[in-house]
Amino acid sequence: MVKSQNLLTEVESKELLKKAGIPVIEAKLARSKKEAISISREIGFPVVLKISSSDVVHKSDSGGVRLGLTNATQVGKAYSQITSSVKQAYPEARIDGVSVQAMAPPGVEVIVGMSKDAQFGPVLMFGLGGILVEVLKDVSFRIVPVTERDAREMIKEIKGYPVLQGYRGQKAASIPALEQLIVKVSQFVEKNPQIEELDLNPIFAYPDKVVAVDARIILE
């Protein structure tokens, strides 16, 4: 557990991002099993449940994420399992409840992040999700403000770029939609200097659009 007073929950982070025009899968906070089920019905199945706590940074490590829940019974069960396993892993964590969101169809996984550099201020990072970013460090950086041209260059710069153009039956990702997202994230962090770190991981990229599936914001 990383104790961070300034970590916004996924629900809070996504609300801010949505207001800034950045496409996200909206998440709603459920404080009880009953609430989780009613929100799920409202959104429509399948749904995803994740632990909501500003004390838990890595949600899936502590059993705090359940994907592909297709009915009310599964949602109710997942609610109990998530809260109990997080309580077990992190007895001191304050738990707000569980976030409920629609299960996005699979797309090409990419990530966009922002961190602050001692000399250049906010810097955006772009990469493909999963092993390519973690093991091969196949990422590109640009200093904020990032223009459309910068965004295009940072997308094309990564070695894994051909993956975005469609690969072995996987559909291509919309490069213009990715560019737009990067530029909007740049504008968002520029307008909000109190943001210390931001992570959109993963973002699902489709042939016609992109959407951030998980998001995390840390304030100064």
Partner 1 sequence: MFEERLKEFEPIFYPKSIAVVGVSATSIKAGSLWVIDLRSAGFPGIIHPVGSSGGRIADHEIFPNLRLIPGEVDYVIVSVPRQSALELLDDCAAKSVKAVHFFTAGFSETDTQQGRELEEQMLEKARQGNVRIIGPNCIGVYCPEHKIPFLMGILGESGSVGFVSQSGGVAAKLVTIGIARHINYSKGVSFGNGIDLDASDFLQYLAADPKTKVIGAYLEGTRDGTRLFNTMRKVAEVKPLVVWKGGRTEAGAQAAMSHTGSLASSAAIWSAMLKQAGVVEVHSLEELTDTLLIFQQLGHGQGTRAAIIGGLADGGGGNSVAAGDACMENGLKIPPLSFETKQELTDLLGEVGSILRNPVDVSQAQFRGLPTLFQAIDLVVRDSISDIVLIQEDVEILLPIYSRQGLEEINEFLIELGRRENKPIIVVLPHGSGEAERLQIEQRLLAASIPVFCSMERAAKAVFRLNQYSCRQEAK
Binding residues for partner 1, per CB under 8 A? 117-121, 123, 140-143, 146, 150, 153-154
CB of 121 or CB of 207, closer to partner 1? 121
How far apart CA 191 and CA 123 sit, in angstroms, is 14
Closest distance to partner 1 from the beta carbon of 127 (Å)? 12
Q: How far is the CB of 169 from partner 1 (least distance, A)?
A: 32
Residue placing its CB nearer to partner 1 in the complex, 4 or 140: 140
Closest CB 195 distance from partner 1, rounded Å: 16
Backbone phi and psi for residue 61, each to the nearest 5 degrees, phi listed first: -60, -25
For residues 109 and 201, give the distance between their C-alpha atoms in angstroms, rounded to a whole number: 8
Q: Which of 155, 45, 142, 152 is nearest to 108 (CA)?
A: 155
- CA 29 – CA 51 distance, rounded (Å): 9
* 68 or 121: CB nearest partner 1: 121
| Main-chain dihedrals φ then ψ at residue 10, nearest 5 degrees | -60, -40
Judge contact between 184 and 124, C-beta under 8 A: no
Least Å distance, CB 16 to partner 1, is: 24
* Nearest distance in Å: CB 21, partner 1: 23
Nearer to partner 1, 176 or 193 (CB): 193
How many whole angstroms separate alpha carbon 166 and alpha carbon 168? Answer: 7
Q: Which is nearer to partner 1, 117 or 134 (CB)?
A: 117
Q: Is 137 helix (H, G, I), strand (E, B) or coil?
A: coil
